Amino acid sequence: MEKDNVCINCYNQVDKVAKVLKLGQAELDILTIPKRILTFSFPVRLDSGEIRYFTGYRVQFNDARGPTKGGIRFHPEVNLEEIKTLAFLMTLKCAVVNLPYGGAKGGIMIEPKHFSEQELERISRGYIREIYNFIGPRIDIPAPDVNTDSRIMAWMLDEYEKLEGKHAPAVITGKPIALHGSRAREFSTSMGGAYVLQEMAGKFDMKPKKTTVAVQGFGNVGMNIARILDEWGYKVIAVSDSRGGIFNPQGLKIKEVISHKEKTGKLAKFKGAKEISNEALLELKTDVLVPAALEDQITKKNADRIKAKLILEMANRPITPEADEILLDKNIFVMPDILANAGGVVVSYFEWVQNSQNFYWSEKEVLDRLKVYMTNAVNELSTVCTDFRCDMRGSLYINAIKKIMEAERLRGNLK
């Protein structure tokens, strides 16, 4: 088989699991070579009248379990290898939470801050024209990702529907409510993570009132999970953003922290809390640590100093593989990103279901169903882990890969 399209990062990630599962060459090919890769460049007229060409990608990694699903990111460092890896991870993530989807990812190499609102609209529409023939509610369903939001999804939906000549809201998720978006979508990732933590806390016999939590990152994910856990009675002792953090061992009143940040634009100088650096926050003596900011925050340099009992990875890849080994040796339990932050894609799936039925659910209905998907995935995973005597990340990969291989086998694509 042609090997030019191999995803090198995916290969490295499945290597360990391949040995445990005794995967053959055909299985390895499925897990390392995407089904479809689109690379294109397209022209957009800027406000100045100049015409600029943009590079875009869409990778549909595997669709054995259903139409592919994955976000579109706008970032200057977007590149094909990264998009392939993220599409692979989406394939695994959808399998882990039992969504009837495969995985995809897309992006444009662009610094969105350098463009006006009108230019961003033309760029978003141009991107959709390029992938129009390859997406659809039963083929591939995009969603927001880094630097893309409901406003961009609305333009993309409109462009798709113009080309299609009819309404097709189920082609894209993360849309505004007025254009068939779902209730609870904006805090679904955090709520999903909170449900996972609640399930784990039960297993660890951690009572919310006696459980301390430190959250790194106070954006969409970090702020919402801190707010939810505080509302549920957990003691959120520290939070931080890119400019530093605040700490109170008695617990912070997160609603007040949110208004303080809204008023002053920062966390610093919040009454009744000490200031703390991001590095120190990670090393706090806390029951739960929630990295919810950036990747590579816990590395071989600081892993040895981490004192949390449980780490809930809400950011993508906040722990490096070397640090993972150190934490495993220290008996620190890590709930990996691929499950911890899957709440967003679960509610994206609910949005697609609602669009397909043209029947819309209340916020309570969405959250009740989200809880079922997240807790089922946690419980399924604990069983796999006992079977294979391995860490949670390895367990998740094994669980997802087994489901994908089963679908491929039933389709007759594997022996």
Per-residue tokens: 25: 């060459």
Question: Residue 189 Cβ, how far from ligand NAD at the closest point, in Å?
Answer: 4
Residues 6+ apart with CB under 8 A from 165: none
Rounded least distance, CB 354 to ligand NAD, Å: 18
Taking contact as CB under 6 A, which single stretch among the options 79-87, 218-226, 299-307, 388-396 is the one that binds ligand NAD? 218-226
Q: Are 310 and 289 in contact (CB under 8 A)?
A: yes
Residue numbers 343-382 binding ligand NAD by CB under 6 A: 344
Query: Cα–chain-centroid distance for residue 127?
Result: 22
Q: Calculate the CA 339 to chain-centre distance.
A: 9
Interface region with ligand NAD, contact rule CB under 6 A, candidates 20-28, 148-156, 234-242, 400-408: 234-242
246 binds ligand NAD (CB under 6 A): no
Bridge partners (DSSP) of residue 30 are none
Tokens of 108: 């444009």
- The yes or no reply on residue 320 touching ligand NAD (CB under 6 A) is no
Q: Which of 9, 55, 150, 316 binds ligand NAD (CB under 6 A)?
A: 316
Interaction of residue 221 with ligand NAD, rule CB under 6 A: yes
Strand partners, 240: 216, 245
Tell me whether residue 105 is one of the annotated catalytic residues: yes
Tell me which stretch binds ligand NAD (CB under 6 A): 89-97, 289-297, 395-403, 405-413: 289-297
Catalytically annotated residue among 35, 69, 84, 105:
105
Binding status of residue 174 toward ligand NAD by CB under 6 A = no
Please choose, out of 10-18, 37-45, 154-162, 216-224, the segment that lies near ligand NAD by the rule CB under 6 A.
216-224
Q: How far apart are CA 83 and CA 72, in angstroms?
A: 9
User: Residues 68, 148, 211, 240: which binds ligand NAD (CB under 6 A)?
Assistant: 240
Q: Which of 9, 55, 98, 278 binds ligand NAD (CB under 6 A)?
A: 278
H helical segments located in 77-233: 80-96, 117-131, 150-164, 188-204, 220-231
DSSP 197-253: HHHHHHHHT--GGG-EEEEE--SHHHHHHHHHHHHTT-EEEEEEETTEEEE-TT---
Contacts by 3-6, CB closer than 8 A, 24 or more apart: 3/33, 5/33, 5/34, 5/37, 6/32, 6/33
341 part of the interface to ligand NAD, by CB under 6 A? yes
Give the position of tokens 């800027």. Answer: 46
The answer to whether 57 contacts ligand NAD (rule: CB under 6 A) is: no
Size, binding site for ligand NAD by CB under 6 A? 20
- Per rule CB under 6 A, is residue 293 in the interface with ligand NAD? yes
List residues binding ligand NAD (CB under 6 A): 189, 216-222, 240-242, 278, 292-294, 314-316, 341, 344
Active site residues: 105
